[in-house]
Structure 1
Amino acid sequence: MVDFRSALNKQLIVFDGAMGTMIQRHGLKPGQMPETFNVLCPDVVKGIHREYIQAGADVITTNTFGANELKLKGTGYTVEQVISRAVDLARQVAGDRWVALDIGPIGQLMEPMGTLSFEEAYNMYARQVRAGAQAGTDLILIETIGDLYEAKAAILAAKENSHLPVICTMTFEQSGRTLMGADPKTAVVVLEGLGVDALGVNCSLGPEELLPIVKQILSYAAVPVLVQPNAGLPEMVNGQAVYPMKPELFERYASVMVQLGVRMIGGCCGTTPDFIRAVRKAVNRLAPVYTSVDRTAAVASGSRTVVLDQGVRIIGGRINARHNEDIMRALMSNGFGDLLSEAIDQRGRGADILAVDVGLPDTLEGKIAEHELLPGVIREIQAVVNLPLEISSSCPAALEAGMRAYNGKPLVRWTARETASMEPLLPLVKKYGACILVSAAGKNGSPDNAVEGFKAAEDIVGFVQSYGVPKEDIIVDCGVPYKADRLGENMEAIEMIRLVKNKLGLKTALSIERAFAGLSHRYDEPVVSTFLVMALANGLDVLVSESMSSYLMETVNAFRSLTIRGE
């Protein structure tokens, strides 16, 4: 059998259709779990697999869509029993076809909208993955997911408990968003960051309604795309959902999607073997279309993406326990009211991203465990604002806990002075698909000037990339303390921005307050604004501001208007 990952890059692949629809036709009783047919009616399940293979499917998916411990409760069967039997049945008839372990949503809303925690979801998915991998499945298909946070739990469970290829497909409503509000761009940014082998969309809509969503996904996705539409929109007939679309029309849409660049196609609700036969007919006439996508730096929450090549972006930096006494007191008293008020206020002032640093001053270290505190803070903030977050810390354990708890694709900042000490962090940045903000400070501390700072940045970027972190996910902080006189220091920062942009092609960042911190004489607002304009004109992509002052925002907005760099 050809390796599935290799085949992804060489051929079009046809998936099967609706197992649930077919089982209903074979006498599924109201309230009965389709997955129990693996034990009670194995010949029916094998027969369905065989029909889809005869129709031309390259991949058959196991009858395990709802085989998690929550849904199987009360059936008398364990997750392991159902999944091992399902994989065995598929294997008996698969021949040279691939067998995909089918994993659907758990069936309970995750926090903060529901009560299911991330780790509870992860553990349920991990149990399914281990059972499927042990039984001998070829790949894992995570499908019909409406919450990116749940998708993250499932993907991490798949990748941490197996070495199998992982595909994740989301389900979108007619609004063009998932149940929890993610648009196609956000779904792609988050799923690709987590390292899926392929991604896509399935269920909820027919091929006609899915076509605009598919086009958006293809415009962003660098990995292969799988589409599995329903057989049109259902109609209720005698109390049952009936799908009126004919296979011939489904075939035409399949042809259109493949010609747009879809590399894998199958069917969801209502798609019988006749529909897959029609898909096979369409695919046999066509060759793969290889699309190219220019990746760029982007961060995301669970429902919003901020792309860093669409004008300067603002990071609000007031949620910082090291520099903000109100935040420090709130954390010490375990009260998040002030912290959440800061998050909401900064969003209102125009922040695109919020920085979160809960590391306490040295005198208070040890009184609160940062790796225990940070995940809770992140969850609280994400419950009230949908902006992406920058997670800042000098503690690798805290950063991992924060990245794991985070819903979306975060930005991570390593705040320790010693750059080499961030080595334990880099595999985690890769694993969780984060962007990373690195300092240009060299091994010997502050550089003498921008040229030395640039050389240090080159070394650091190479070091980060050696751990598999994509170049576009690296942002360089150009505001390091230079060994120039205080008046010349800021001009070195501007030169550094220019060098990093023009020679490394990377995104740049600068903290405006830090740039003017510690100067013995007073700088007024026009001087700071002028400096900011110079930084923007030389290519500053990310402005970090703890004050979020109105004059700074007015300067940024004026620059955006004059240069038309905003969205």
Structure 2
Amino acid sequence: MNFLEFLNNNIVLLDGAMGTMLQKNGMKAGDVPEHFNIEHSDIIIKIQKAYVEAGSNVIFTNTFGANSKKLSNSSYSLERIIKAAIANAKTAMGNKGFVAYDIGPIGELLQPSGLLGFDEAYELFAQQVKIAVAEGVDLFVIETMSDLQEVRAAVLAVKENSDLPLIASMSFEENGRTFTGCDVAAMACCLEGLGVNAIGINCSLGPVQLLPVVEKLLNYTNLPVSVKANAGLPTKYGGYDIDEVEFTRVYEKFLKMGVRIVGGCCGTTPEYISLLKQAIANAPKDIKMPDVIRGICSGEKFLPYGGIMVVGERLNPTGKPLFKEAILNEDIEYILKQALEQVEAGADILDLNLGLPKIDEPSIMKKVITALQGVSDIPLQIDSSKPLAIEAGLRCYCGKAIVNSVNGDDESLDAILPIVKKYGAAVIGLCLNKDGIPKNAEDRL
């Protein structure tokens, strides 16, 4: 039975903390946790075996910081560290469950908030994915992310370099947003569109604080939801403020809400996992889930379908010589000024058309969208007739965009719809073909 088959028929029990368990087992400040895979493999295996014995169906590899940037000064190669981590996890798990390759943040903010480019982030994640696939992991977990764009880079790296299941999880504050401002509804909208198999919340808070955040998440996705909370909040004495009994009481509420994947993050131990196993055994069956709210989003703002949406359509060179000149000269500042004027005037969505003859439309599309995301949080509508430009825009866009548009010709559908599906975009379908607009409604549909 593979992981997805198991998930379809069971509530999945993940493992608990690794970092705080390593500290209890002698890891000092300044030590590199991933080096323990090689230098202290016995400690890693002991911790992971304890989780397996407590009932974990899935254990994470000790690879949270295993990327080339974080380990640039390591005396070990990235490949050696990853291979050792996976070997340790397999030894601990045996044939009792599944090994998930754990992907954590790179450690730098992506553009436009930071300096790291999307393509560079993608390559850092893809490097890990390729090694993990070759070593035979069962699934991937992306966790403790605060930047939705970084999650997107990691998701695409997994999806384009493997066919394994994927859980994607972010860390939220009590206000329902991540450190970088990502809304829980936007996370669900964007990541479900990209084709992840489960969506989750982990770290940053204890289960009590996460209850309303998880409740909101369940309204925006019908994918399995994962929760891996901390053992409460940190105390001034160096621990966490919720024991395994209280932790489990709150998790019983998660299970009644319909959460399908549970585990623990910072401060949790095998004792926490053991009690979660008992809670799963007593969890209610056939839970009625809420109707899912659908829509589009930027990285910060979710816009539900329904009602009237105002689309700003001035980012278009047709009949606008100054805008045409700005495209040709790559005058990004002028384009952003035009965008912000529409936002201030009340636009809900910005339509972006950069189509001109003899320009590199994919290149300018990428530059403009990257810049736009630094000044505006309203969703985008990518308006182009060129599939390469559409894909360039969707790939770098942090959110779920609209593609404007496809018509009823097979050539248009075959060129555009696979791109729309890959990036989880919405699409405007025009009821016309090469012969024009049919005269009656039946032919239009």
Q: Do both proteins adopt the same fold according to a TM-score greater than 0.5, normalized to the shorter chain?
A: yes
Residue 374 of structure 2 aligns to a residue whose secondary structure is: helix
Which runs of 5 or more structure 1 residues have no equivalent in the other structure?
Answer: 459-567
Structure 1 counterpart of 2:68, which letter? E
Report the Cα offset of residue 107 of structure 1: 0.6
Greater relative contact order (Cα 8 A, min sep 6): structure 1 or 2? Answer: 2
1:398 aligns with 2:389: yes
Shift of 1:337: 2.3
CA distance in 1, matches of 2:385, 2:319: 15
Moved more, 179-188 or 39-48: 179-188
Provide the residue aligned with 1:274 in structure 2. 271
Residue identity opposite 1:322 in structure 2: T
Amino acid aligned to 2:43: V
Aligned AA for 2:314? Answer: R
- Gaps of at least 5 residues in structure 2 are none
User: Aligned pair in 2 of structure 1 residues 35, 288: CA closer, same or farther (>3 Å)?
Assistant: farther
Residue deviations 1:46-74 (CA, integer Å, cap 9, x gap): 11111001111111111011101111111
Quick one: distance in 1 between partners of 2:368 and 2:407? 21
| CA apart distance, 1:247 | 0.5
Match of 1:431 among 411, 417, 422: 422
**How far apart are the structure 2 equivalents of 1:445 and 1:326?**
32
Question: Residue 320 in 1 paired to residue 308 in 2?
Answer: no
Alpha carbons of 1:341 and 1:118: their partners in 2 closer, same or farther (altered >3 Å)?
same
1:76 aligns with 75
- Matched residue type, 2:402: L
Are 2:406 and 1:409 aligned? no
State how far apart, in whole Å, the 2-side matches of 1:171 and 1:151 are: 11
Instruction: Look up the equivalent residue of 1:55 and give its one-letter code.
Output: A
Check if 1:135 corresponds to 2:135.
Answer: yes
Return the alpha-carbon distance in structure 1 between the equivalents of residues 373 and 231 of structure 2. Answer: 36
Q: What per-residue deviation string (whole Å, max 9, x for no partner) do you get for residues 173-212 of structure 1?
A: 1222011212211111011011100001000000000000
Aligned to 1:421: 412
- Pairwise CA distance, 1:422: 3.9
Deviation, structure 1 residue 346: 0.7
Residues 35 and 291 (structure 1), Cα distance of their counterparts in 2 relative to 1, 3 Å cut: farther
Question: If the length of structure 2 is used for normalisation, what is the TM-score?
Answer: 0.97
Match of 2:98 in 1: 98
C-alpha distance in 2 between matches for 1:52 and 1:415: 51
Aligned counterpart, 1:64:
63
Instruction: Name the SS of the counterpart of 2:70 in structure 1.
Output: helix
- Summarize the Cα distance change of 1:438–1:296 in structure 2 as closer, same or farther, 3 Å threshold: farther
The equivalent of 2:256 in structure 1 is: 259
SS of 2:218's equivalent in the other structure is helix
CA offsets per residue over residues 369-428 of structure 1, 9 Å max, x none?
A: 101111111111111110100001111111101100111110001378956334122111
Asked if 1 retains the 8 angstrom alpha-carbon contact of 2:101 and 2:141, the reply is yes
1:288-367 superposed matches below 5 A:
288-295=285-292, 297-309=294-306, 311-360=307-356, 365-366=357-358
Are 2:441 and 1:445 aligned?
no
SS at match of 1:74: coil
Report the Cα distance in structure 1 between the residues aligned to 2:341 and 2:288, rounded to whole angstroms: 41
CA distance in 1, matches of 2:288, 2:304: 20
Q: Determine if contact 2:370/2:396 at 8 Å carries over to the other structure.
A: yes
2:6 counterpart residue number: 7
- 1:90-149 deviations in whole A, cap 9, x for unaligned? 111212211110111111011111110101110000111111111111000000010110
- Whole-angstrom distance in 1 between the partners of 2:403 and 2:288: 30
Asked if the contact 1:251/1:281 (under 8 Å) is kept, the reply is no
- Contact 1:243/1:270 (<8 A) preserved: yes
In structure 1, distance between residues paired with 2:319 and 2:12: 54
Q: CA deviation at 1:10?
A: 1.2
One-letter amino acid of the counterpart of residue 409, structure 1? K
Partners in 2 of 1:243 and 1:384 — Cα distance?
Answer: 38
Q: What secondary structure does 1:220 align onto?
A: coil
TM-score normalised by length of structure 1: 0.76
The question of whether the paired residues in 1 share the 8 Å contact of 2:245 and 2:275 is answered with yes
Higher helix share: 1
**Mapped pair 1:194 → 2:194:** yes
CA contact 2:146–2:170 (8 Å) conserved in 1: yes
Check conservation: 2:189, 2:295, Cα contact below 8 A: yes
Letter in 1 for 2:41: P
Aligned residues: 444
Q: 2 CA distance for matches of 1:170 and 1:228?
A: 10
Q: Classify the secondary structure of the residue corresponding to 2:201.
A: strand
- Report the equivalent of 2:125: 125
